[in-house]
Structure 1
């Protein structure tokens, strides 16, 4: 089997009508890079890469007239990775991954506006498509290809965003709705108001939902180290499952280690880890106990499997960030796999709501993987045509 063509499609949604935000930014346009790898045997591999969280341009740019154009990682896929991979056997994922990864040594790409974040995201989209092809060639779901036997995975729901006029009572009612949906774990955003206000918010939710509901807290790198330590100590009596990304991005290793050593709450991080070496430093120096490596943002499945091995050696759990339709296979198959992130509304996750005609389903806080080859997903061509920008 040989690769004959590679497509890159930047899917971009408008900003949500209801404004909401985290500790440091409003939730704006949601975007996802779709990669399709075509072969001479008629099989097509579908890959996805997370479009947010990287320096602009991520996977698209907005022109002065308001029009959108594929850029960043989208162009890297077509202009750089495609010529590298045409004619190759798509099942040789380890060798192809190494060939793509070596591009990070070429500073010319940075001069062209394509830094390492764009390259790593492009690699992710292609590598994930190659794993879809592996599954389709073997007529097996990816989780079975990886040796997994379970097809259900526990999920948590992310909410508690800040909104204008939103009260603690509103927050409690929101979380009660999640409990009624069958979720046993809820992640709340904190760090956007004073520590005392956030402690009051979380305390109200804990009191309303009782001791059996798992609560995770996500600071989105909003605190300095002293504030993170103070917040963690005030939150400890509330039985928090993990405290996520509590310190600013520039102190996410050494500073994170200080926080981890100062609290009994397990520290979670890793969605911004670019590769296994970042993950290693977060575990060994940052004291991370829950690794949130996002294979759709950086490097793909091939690298995520190496991160999972690091986790296994250090008794760290893997709870990937975002894109449950991909990460569900990894959590299902890997012994260190713990739980998946999901979102409550189409405003927050239009990808899940609109991009697929076939995908896993979530009921009562559990995702059930499909017994279909590869990732088991089918793209909604109407959505691609409405939201997609071809590179």
Structure 2
């Protein structure tokens, strides 16, 4: 009997919130939740892999239903298997991308990335291994490091939120064990943002740092003005100052800001990531790369991106993905990334860690749960199991 995918289910779910960054508000934000059901039986039940896309990009159900799910389900089952007869994420990916032209890396990359996450979850469950261990064995040095650096992302603009509210939020992250916290900039004046930054910096103790994120809001003149104002603060990083595809702006900004910068969360292919490395002036000794597999065609493409980075002399440790989800945590633990974003209070139940996992001195240690580990987070698994039931 040939192993096969029996069904792929998707559902659009709300993750709405009144928060906003410098560019968008999240009042109507959605995501796609996906279940890949296989005919493999474990403990009397079919093995099901789950996936969802990161916040900031809307659910992609229409693209999945019209193109990508039918291609995967209509393929001959044996064409989706590896040499051992096990479901192969790379072949599933190639099948979903048939008849797609190069380029156009927009919403398509989110649809594919979401399904890809679910496929990897299923495959690791079939192998009866944590995904981070399976990745280390297949693509890494053979040994995963389940201890992963995480930082707390927040500091959004919110109606009625004053400096006291911002400080209270950041203190709550520090009290929960985070050593690096991040806040939004660019949604207020430069003077007001500097006041907000200085209020948070006063809270930080030894070894604690602040990162700031402009969400691509600035033109070059404004980005440089912020760079000059931010330089004395010794920030963990200055993130996504300008449009993510404006590599000239990013390269010029490096001439005006010597401290670490970060970008990449809105680049959705290996080719776009390569253009950033070629033309964006990013510095491999200090800057950070935030490519998010859930938004950029999934882990299959992320592996290509990591190989490209290696060719250009970049270490995987300079990658700290956007998104705050357990898939990137597994990749970080299995392939030696520099860490992962975390949303302690936002976009629940999709962000965060398995129940009982605590942040200690800025790190979490992943438990030995098979697959990505979604089953270890009760509120999230309730949503997922309802979809596949």
Smaller-chain TM-score range? 0.7 to 0.9
Superposed, which structure 2 residues align to 1:89-128 within 5 Å?
Answer: 89=81, 91-105=87-101, 116-128=105-117
Alignment partner for residue 71 of structure 1, among 62, 66, 82? 62
| Structure 2, unaligned runs of 5 or more | 137-142
Count of residues in Structure 1 that have an aligned counterpart in Structure 2 = 362
Cα distance in structure 2, aligned partners of 1:163 and 1:291: 27
**1:258–1:304 CA distance, 2 compared to 1 (3 A):** same
Q: With structure 1 as the length reference, what TM-score do the two structures score?
A: 0.83
Contact 2:116 2:299 in 1 (8 A): yes
Alpha-carbon RMSD: 2.9
Which residue matches 1:223? 218
Contact 1:93 1:127 in 2 (8 A): yes
Which residue matches 2:231? 236
Alignment partner for residue 375 of structure 1, among 372, 375, 387? 372
**1:85–1:141 CA distance, 2 compared to 1 (3 A):** farther
Q: With structure 2 as the length reference, what TM-score do the two structures score?
A: 0.83
Contact 1:47 1:127 in 2 (8 A): no
Cα offset, 1:52, TM superposition: 4.7
Contact 2:35 2:384 in 1 (8 A): no
| Structure 1, unaligned runs of 5 or more | 61-69, 108-114
Q: Which moved more, 1:137-146 or 1:372-381?
A: 372-381
Query: Aligned to 2:350, what secondary structure does the other structure show?
Result: helix
Cα offset, 1:41, TM superposition: 2.6
Cα distance in structure 1, aligned partners of 2:181 and 2:102: 42
Query: Aligned to 2:52, what secondary structure does the other structure show?
Result: strand
CA deviation digits over 1:265-320, x for unaligned, max 9? 22211111111111111122113331111111121111112222333443351101
CA deviation digits over 1:171-195, x for unaligned, max 9? 2222122111111000110011111
**1:165–1:38 CA distance, 2 compared to 1 (3 A):** closer
Alignment partner for residue 261 of structure 2, among 260, 267, 270? 267
Contact 2:16 2:26 in 1 (8 A): yes
Cα distance in structure 1, aligned partners of 2:76 and 2:118: 12
Which residue matches 1:64? none
Cα offset, 1:224, TM superposition: 0.5
Which residue matches 2:329? 328
Which residue matches 1:285? 279
Which residue matches 1:132? 121
Query: Aligned to 1:262, what secondary structure does the other structure show?
Result: coil
Query: Aligned to 2:228, what secondary structure does the other structure show?
Result: helix
Cα offset, 1:45, TM superposition: 4.1
Q: Does 1:298 align with 2:280?
A: no
Superposed, which structure 2 residues align to 1:192-211 within 5 Å?
Answer: 192-210=187-205
Alignment partner for residue 213 of structure 1, among 204, 208, 215? 208
Contact 1:328 1:367 in 2 (8 A): no
